[in-house]
Amino acid sequence: MKFKSLVFFLLFFLLSQSLQAEVLKGKFELQSSKINYLVTYLIKKADGDSTKSKGKGECKAEKCNFLVAAPVKSFISKDSNRDLNMLSSTKADKYPLIVAKITTPSEITNGELKADLEIEFSGVKHLYKNVLFKSNFKEGILHVESKFDLILGEHKIEKPSLMGVNINELVPLTIIADWKKL
């Protein structure tokens, strides 16, 4: 009987340690990031990346606020003509930055954070609610990853077309970022 109690206690202890929440506090600076987009046409897919984002964040009490900005010109695909068309479609000359304001609880539970993202793209703001981020915080570095769909119509972006067929309204984004605690 004592053996079963000991095993139960050890399992409970290990499980409770793995489920403990980590609370973020203090100021953060974006150390590195990669943002990838994927546009789909009827029969073709195209993607591009940016690693030029800048950002800062601060966690107080129960919530964190992060601000990230990426130059629209920094998104590069394998097709320079497509990149020029993207700059035109998104009015990059008038709105050179994509800006995200991220609000999240300061508590990371089971390696996940849910965040509200206000994205300003092509001069139009849209709030994406409860976006899931996988995360971990080790040795002063907050690592986050997320995949979600940006909706072109919510930012009043006229969809480019290929041979008369518009790209899909939903543009999947993948975000990978490392934030350094200051």
Helix (H, G, I), strand (E, B) or coil at 75: coil
Tokens of 152: 């072109």
Nearest Cα to Cα of residue 157 among 119, 103, 100, 128: 119
Cβ neighbour number for residue 22 with a 10 Å cutoff: 14
Q: What angle do CA 22, 25, 27 make, to 5 degrees?
A: 135
The pLDDT value recorded for residue 61 is 84
Decide: residue 25, CB within 10 A, 0-12 exposed, 13-18 middle, 19+ buried.
Answer: exposed
CA distance linking residue 133 with residue 112, whole number of Å: 6
CA distance linking residue 28 with residue 64, whole number of Å: 10
Decide: residue 71, CB within 10 A, 0-12 exposed, 13-18 middle, 19+ buried.
Answer: middle
Mean pLDDT of 154-167: 81
**Per-residue pLDDT tens for 52-109?**
999 999 999 889 999 999 999 999 988 888 888 888 888 999 999 999 999 988 887 7
- What is the domain partition of the chain in residue ranges? 21-181
**Are residues 29 and 182 in contact, defined by beta-carbon separation less than 8 angstroms?**
yes
**Per-residue pLDDT tens for 105-115?**
888 777 888 89
**Domain 21-181, CATH:** 2.40.128.110
Nearest Cα to Cα of residue 177 among 83, 97, 100, 110: 100
Checking phi first, is residue 110 left (phi over 0); if not, alpha (psi -120 to 50) or beta? left
pTM of the model: 0.81
Mean pLDDT of 123-134: 94
Decide: residue 64, CB within 10 A, 0-12 exposed, 13-18 middle, 19+ buried.
Answer: buried
